[in-house]
Structure 1
Amino acid sequence: MPACQRIFLLFCLMFNSVLFAQEKEIVEDVREFQKELNEEFRNPETSPLDKDDLAEFKELDFFEIDPDFRVKAELVRTPAEPPFMMKTSTDRTPVYVKYGELYFTLKGKKFKLNVYQSQELKQDPEYYDYLFLPFTDLTNGISTYGNGRYIDLRIPETNEVVIDFNKAYNPYCAYSGRYSCPIPPEENDLDIEIPAGVKSYKDH
């Protein structure tokens, strides 16, 4: 085998090894997220489930972990946005501010999602840097909760944000009518299927 071919083969092997390691790290990270979410749901003190559902609960139903649904997005800040009252499933109207816009490519298509900051949580030392990413997609009402799902983010140190749709989770309203849940704004409707994250729960 000529030297140039050996070098090319070695390069390919090294590249594949790095790629495999990255995907393994993503999968392990998501599995930890799933484990923590299931533990939250099993714990009577933190579970959103009604008493009868909690007694039968084993684990949430997730899509297969897919590293392709973990994307890097460019955050464009929108500092002049005024506070607004976000619609919820009840009469409650929590105050949010549009923190910025996230631009990313998924499955070869370009998308934009707005990300928000709760003005109440902003005052909490534990959640002062918390960002809220609610969204809807073409799976809603079919394999996922009809009113959309959420992703938790933190304010980044740069303009790059990692959106991992494998960590998309349902509002508490998907499990019980006892809760008041923000409804994803229309501008955060994705014209694509996102078969990643938590699936729908029973008949809710």
Structure 2
Amino acid sequence: MDFDVESWRTELREYREEKDEKFGVPHSSPLGPEGRREFDGIEYFEPDPDYRVEATVELDESDETVTMETTADGEQLHERAARLHFALPDQRGETAEHTLVGYRRVDQSGGSLFVPFRDKTTGQQTYPGGRYIELHYEGELEDGETFALDFNLAYNPFCAYSDAYECPLPPRENWLEIAIPAGERYED
């Protein structure tokens, strides 16, 4: 998937700066007053265009409900909307095929997919509960459709910053056996 890397870097930098600003504002931040005073920006991996990949959609018409455990020992119900197939290099530099499932909350209509995942950075360089990607699209998803899956946009859920939040944990089917050093980092 060809794209303008310099424009992408600029957009990513602006996105990250905007997110940092929101973390400093009470109504849009997961941080409490003390946390906002001490906050000096989210930790990120360096932008890497190799972790912006083309994903192919395989629709999931099963209507199967998936129960995701949460960080507060609760549960949330989601539906599998699509499987996203993509290729990334492994630790040896060999390209391998991978799949992540995109979900929707049971009470949500189309327009976006929720992609929670874990990888080999989870609990070491990234939040122990996993990270998320939100994929937005226009109209209806179609089988075989492709779009950019940018792991540089992977983010920590709000529960990484405050116990006041309850966040779904990625189900086992979204645990990747590779490291994805892209997106938000986590320092306890």
**Superposition TM-score, scaled by structure 2 size:** 0.88
Unaligned residue ranges in structure 1 (runs of 5+): 1-18, 123-127
Runs of 4+ in 1 over 3 A off after TM superposition: 155-158
User: How far apart, CA to CA, are the structure 2 residues paired with 1:118 and 1:32?
Assistant: 29
Aligned equivalent of 2:127: 145
> Which of 117, 133, 139 is the equivalent residue of 2:104?
117
Q: Map of 1:1-204 to 2, 5 A cutoff?
A: 22-107=4-89, 108-122=95-109, 128-155=110-137, 158=142, 159-201=145-187, 203=188
* Displacement after TM superposition at 1:66 (Å): 0.4
| Contact 1:50–1:175 (CA under 8 A) maintained in structure 2 | no
Q: Identity rate of aligned residues, in percent?
A: 37
Kindly tell me: are residues 67 and 104 of structure 1, through their superposed partners in 2, closer, same or farther at Cα, counting changes over 3 Å?
A: same
* Displacement after TM superposition at 1:161 (Å): 2.4
| Contact 2:71–2:129 (CA under 8 A) maintained in structure 1 | no
SS in 2 for 1:100: strand
Larger-Rg structure: 1
User: How far apart, CA to CA, are the structure 2 residues paired with 1:152 and 1:74?
Assistant: 16
* Displacement after TM superposition at 1:68 (Å): 0.3
Q: Deviations over 1:105-137 (max 9, x none)?
A: 011111010110112343xxxxx4121000000
User: How far apart, CA to CA, are the structure 2 residues paired with 1:197 and 1:155?
Assistant: 20
Kindly tell me: are residues 197 and 93 of structure 1, through their superposed partners in 2, closer, same or farther at Cα, counting changes over 3 Å?
A: same
Number of matched pairs: 178
* Displacement after TM superposition at 1:91 (Å): 4.2
Q: Flag the structure with more relative contact order, 1 or 2, with Cα contacts below 8 A and sequence separation at least 6.
A: 2
Structure with the bigger percentage of strand: 2
SS in 2 for 1:74: strand
**Superposition TM-score, scaled by structure 1 size:** 0.81
User: How far apart, CA to CA, are the structure 1 residues paired with 2:177 and 2:73?
Assistant: 28
| Contact 2:127–2:156 (CA under 8 A) maintained in structure 1 | yes
* Displacement after TM superposition at 1:92 (Å): 3.5
SS in 1 for 2:114: strand
User: How far apart, CA to CA, are the structure 1 residues paired with 2:24 and 2:178?
Assistant: 32
